[in-house]
Amino acid sequence: MPNPINELTDTRTLGATGLSTSPITLGTSFLGAGTRPGDAGEAAAVELAKVMLHGPYALIDTSNNYAKGRSEAVLGLALADGGVGAGRTVVTKVDEDPNTHAFDRDRVRRSFEESCARLGVDRLELLHLHDPYSVTFEEAAAQGGAIEGMLQLKDEGLVGSIGIAAGTVSLMRKYVATGAFDVLLTHNRFTLVDRSAVPLIEDAVDRGMGVFNAAPFGGGLLSRGSASGATYAYTDASPELLAWVARVEKLCAQHGIDLPTAALHFSLRSPMIDSTIVGISSTKRIAQLECMRATEVPSSFWDELENLGTPPSTITD
């Protein structure tokens, strides 16, 4: 049976960070989107945030730029009003300057300070460098670059651990190879239909890094199904991919499970993944996730899934 919604699920340590995490981490990329201070939408978002902060999962994932800063602002209001449950922690990310696209040491510091102000905290247990696409890796690694900024925050004790969070595998491998980061966050590249992040994840695990796997449903396709026309990783799904997913759906039906449950368990069952990040838009969704997590997927399903061959992912890196 799934856990009560306010009882922590089985926790484990995130790599060598010492930070506790749960099999699932709640994502908040749309929390507070479109709301304004004091309006009814904000009030509803704050109530959802309170449930997250006292819910079954140890970590709540946000970012400086999620919902143009409203995600952190809403979480800050919830923290100020209802606090946070024992064993729960908010994790956030530094982002490029939204106007100038600068992403150097100084921008890392400003982004950190903006996040702390919104959240109402002065220290973060874990902070990610998020989507460093506006600068080259060489710029980020140079003196005065973003990596230096992250390390300075950690050295000053303002951040407990630092992570690198992005999609492009070839770029992520460069950041992991620096040895500077404690945690890896990859998305859309370790799912039922894409395994391209496996070498990256293996490298991170070998280095003792904690590993988050985000977007196990590929942004829609693996939660809505092949007939939905949903995208995969922000791009249109090809006919070949839709046909492959349809075959997985038939396999799921034969084993008494549904496609979203299989997609979630693909990530949950991997010993390389410490926690799977799933975006949340309602308290009902949290209860659904717990039911899905508690569902047993027959081992024969995974054997037969492998027999379907390599999935035709739309991602090239």
Asked if residue 231 is part of any domain, the answer here is: no
Rounded to the nearest 5 degrees, what angle is found at the Cα of 82, between the Cα atoms of 25 and 110?
65
Taking each helix axis from N to C end, the angle separating 283-294 and 259-268, rounded to the nearest 10 degrees, works out to 70
b/e code 102-120 from CB counts within 10 Å (16+ = b)? ebbbebbbebbebbbebbe
Q: Is residue 113 part of a domain?
A: yes
Does residue 99 lie in a domain region?
Answer: yes
pTM, to two decimals = 0.96
Domain count, the chain: 1
Helix (H, G, I), strand (E, B) or coil at 202: helix
Q: Which of 168, 243, 133 is nearest to 184 (CA)?
A: 168
The answer to whether residue 122 sits within a structural domain is yes
Residue 240 lies in a domain: no
Does residue 241 lie in a domain region? no
Closest alpha carbon to 79 in 56, 61, 53: 53
Q: Is residue 225 part of a domain?
A: no
| 8 Å CB contact between 259 and 292 | no
Q: Is residue 246 part of a domain?
A: no
- The domain of 128 spans 12-220+260-299
Check which CATH number belongs to the domain holding 102 and give it. Answer: 3.20.20.100
Residue 157 tokens read as: 């004790």
Which is it for strands 20-21 and 12-13: parallel, antiparallel or unpaired?
antiparallel
Per-residue pLDDT of the chain (317 residues; tens, 9 = 90+): 344 467 898 899 999 999 999 999 999 999 999 999 999 999 999 999 999 999 999 999 999 999 999 999 999 999 999 999 999 999 999 999 999 999 999 999 999 999 999 999 999 999 999 999 999 999 999 999 999 999 999 999 999 999 999 999 999 999 999 999 999 999 999 999 999 999 999 999 999 999 999 999 998 899 999 998 889 998 999 999 999 999 999 999 999 999 999 999 999 999 999 999 999 999 999 999 999 999 999 999 999 999 999 999 989 88
